[in-house]
């Protein structure tokens, strides 16, 4: 295969455009640009359209994607996204918008945002939502900034935020960024928050606890009402990390569990292809107590007309430019309209069913540290395979040879040689059976041909690399020969 970069494919031909002149006179950029900004030598390749299309299509065919492969990335909800949602996001009336347009010229767009907020409030039990945050982690930051400002406004001396030992790494990072001390509460042997140990940690200085439910071990926190009561009695808030909300759609609401702030990853749960840093939307919802602290502006409707309301007395201000990643919101709106309440409930039922199906089929091959019924994702431990010479990392790399994207590895940190599998509701039984057989076959290979597993992947364009060095010492230099 030709692995040259597009720059290495450049030709000596200076003109490959066969379309006749348009009659519009060309302007020399040097006549109106500052001379210090004008490049004297720009080595762009001169290629025909066919060469460019083949180059980038060839690159795309080397990638894993949810449209081409099974992508069981735990705690990330890599589900298939219906193409109708993409079509709606690309409607002329949406893609031609400008964020500086006057509200009276975009009433249809504002109506979409208004109705999407109402839907999410119904689904979660929250009072209001903001769509400004660009990701789940960004949503966490916005939510915790609101909690901090609330405590400051009420003259409360709150210094710490509690997180479980199985929490997403963004939780303690967000708490620290907001100036709080992070306090870790241990889990029980069953994988749930240890309520007795939590009781010894909660005091008058507790600002909040950050939880995801189901948690990152794929288990529902059965004592959530006790936890809620414990935190609220000390004047703290419950923050809901919505990364795992796929398991609860249409079944229960965070508000019923006592949560005060919720972020939803619209790019995970509600349909937008995501990865490589975007696009995303970490919509944040709050209960009555925190509405006045939301980022401005919020949508308001009077006499049938929608406009932006900047009059929030305690707002934390903007957390990003304009009003959020709008195309992501269009996809989420389309997704919700097509599914309805019954469809959302089926999403949750099928995601839980698929995860438990995978667990039952593989539990005799890979250790299941928490054997009780899981929710949307299942955690395996590859300890037995490690004892025979192959780590979770080796197994993940070998899965690539079977056309399966590796699941999340080594997380949660509380599980040795962890393998987190989230099949989602969009995978068929046929796809799950293929994954199950691949995992069984790899287990057999460890005993029969260990080197094949240890040296995987064999069929991918990029073989096993030093990932630590690649992350810490990336080589971003462009070379003339394209290597």
Alpha-carbon Rg of the chain, whole angstroms? 25
Question: What CATH class is the domain 84-338?
Answer: alpha beta
What is the model's pTM? 0.89
Check the CA dihedral 189-194-200-203 and report its sign: positive
- pLDDT tens per residue across all 483 residues of the chain: 456 777 777 666 555 455 566 676 667 767 778 888 887 777 777 788 888 898 888 888 888 888 889 999 987 899 999 999 999 999 999 999 998 999 999 999 999 999 999 999 999 999 999 999 999 999 999 999 999 999 999 999 999 999 999 999 999 999 999 999 999 999 999 999 999 999 999 999 999 999 999 999 999 999 999 999 999 999 999 999 999 999 999 999 999 999 999 999 999 999 887 765 668 899 999 999 999 999 999 999 999 999 999 999 999 999 998 889 999 999 999 999 999 999 999 999 999 999 999 999 999 999 999 999 999 999 999 999 999 999 999 999 999 999 999 999 999 999 999 999 999 999 999 999 999 999 999 999 999 999 999 999 999 888 888 888 888 988 877 555 444
| Of 341, 336, 339, 290, nearest in space to 113 by CA | 336
| C-alpha to C-alpha distance for 286 and 263, rounded to whole angstroms | 9
| C-alpha to C-alpha distance for 134 and 126, rounded to whole angstroms | 19
For 186-297, list the strands marked E by DSSP.
Answer: 206-211, 237-241, 261-265, 282-286
The two structure tokens encoding residue 44: 């762009």
Could you tell me which residues come within 8 angstroms of residue 202 by beta carbon, excluding any fewer than 6 positions away?
162, 209, 230, 231, 234, 236
Q: pLDDT at position 390, please?
A: 98
Residues 397-429 as b or e (16 or more Cβ within 10 Å = b): bbbbbbebbbbbbbbbebbebbbbbbbbbbbee
Q: pLDDT at position 360, please?
A: 98
The two structure tokens encoding residue 167: 């929490």
We find that the CATH architecture of domain 350-470 is: Alpha-Beta Complex (3.90)
Which residue intervals of the chain bear CATH 3.90.1150.10? 350-470
| C-alpha to C-alpha distance for 360 and 349, rounded to whole angstroms | 16
Which residue intervals of the chain bear CATH 3.40.640.10? 84-338
Name the 3-class secondary structure at 274: coil
Contact 66, 79 (CB under 8 A): yes
Could you tell me which residues come within 8 angstroms of residue 321 by beta carbon, excluding any fewer than 6 positions away?
99
């Amino acid at each position: 295969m030709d692995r040259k970069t597009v720059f290495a494919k450049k030709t000596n031909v200076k003109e490959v455009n066969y379309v006749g002149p348009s009659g519009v006179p060309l302007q020399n950029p040097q006549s109106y640009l500052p001379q210090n900004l004008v490049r004297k030598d720009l080595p762009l390749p001169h290629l025909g359209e066919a060469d460019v299309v083949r180059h980038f299509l060839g690159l795309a065919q080397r990638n894993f994607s949810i449209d081409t492969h099974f992508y069981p990335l735990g705690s990330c909800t890599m589900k298939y996204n219906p193409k109708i949602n993409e079509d709606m996001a690309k409607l002329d009336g949406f893609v031609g918008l400008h964020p500086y347009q006057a509200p009276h010229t975009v009433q249809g767009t504002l109506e979409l945002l208004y109705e999407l907020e109402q839907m999410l409030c119904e689904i979660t039990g929250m009072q209001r939502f903001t769509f400004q945050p660009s990701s789940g982690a960004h949503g966490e930051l916005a939510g915790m900034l609101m909690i901090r400002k609330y405590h400051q406004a009420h003259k409360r001396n709150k210094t710490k935020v509690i997180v479980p030992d199985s929490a997403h790494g963004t939780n303690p990072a967000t708490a620290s960024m907001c100036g709080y001390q992070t306090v870790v509460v241990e889990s029980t042997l069953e994988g749930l928050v240890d309520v007795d140990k939590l009781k010894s940690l909660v005091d008058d200085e507790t600002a909040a606890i950050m939880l995801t439910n189901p948690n990152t071990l794929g288990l529902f926190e059965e004592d959530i009402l006790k936890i809620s009561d414990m935190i609220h009695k000390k004047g703290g808030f419950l923050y809901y990390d919505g990364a795992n909300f796929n398991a609860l759609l249409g079944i229960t609401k965070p508000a019923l569990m006592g949560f005060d702030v919720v972020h939803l990853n619209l790019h995970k749960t509600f349909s937008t292809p995501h990865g490589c840093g975007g696009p995303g939307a970490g919509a944040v919802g709050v209960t009555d107590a925190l509405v006045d602290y939301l980022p401005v502006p919020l949508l308001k409707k009077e006499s049938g007309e929608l406009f932006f309301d900047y009059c929030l007395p305690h707002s934390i201000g903007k957390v990003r430019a304009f009003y959020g990643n709008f195309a992501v919101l269009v996809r989420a709106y389309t997704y919700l309209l097509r599914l309805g309440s019954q469809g959302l409930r089926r999403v949750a039922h099928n995601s839980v069913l698929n995860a438990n199906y995978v667990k039952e089929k593989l539990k005799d091959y890979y250790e299941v540290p928490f054997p009780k019924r899981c929710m949307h994702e299942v955690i395996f431990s590859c300890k037995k395979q490690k004892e025979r010479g192959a780590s979770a990392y080796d197994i993940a790399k070998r899965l690539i040879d079977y056309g399966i994207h590796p699941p999340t590895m080594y997380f949660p940190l509380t599980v040795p040689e962890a393998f987190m599998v989230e099949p989602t509701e969009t995978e068929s039984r046929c796809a799950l059976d293929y994954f199950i057989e691949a995992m069984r076959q790899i287990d057999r290979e460890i005993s029969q041909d260990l080197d094949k597993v240890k040296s995987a992947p064999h069929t991918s364009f990029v073989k096993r690399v030093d990932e630590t060095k690649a992350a810490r010492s990336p080589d971003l230099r462009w070379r003339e020969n394209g290597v």
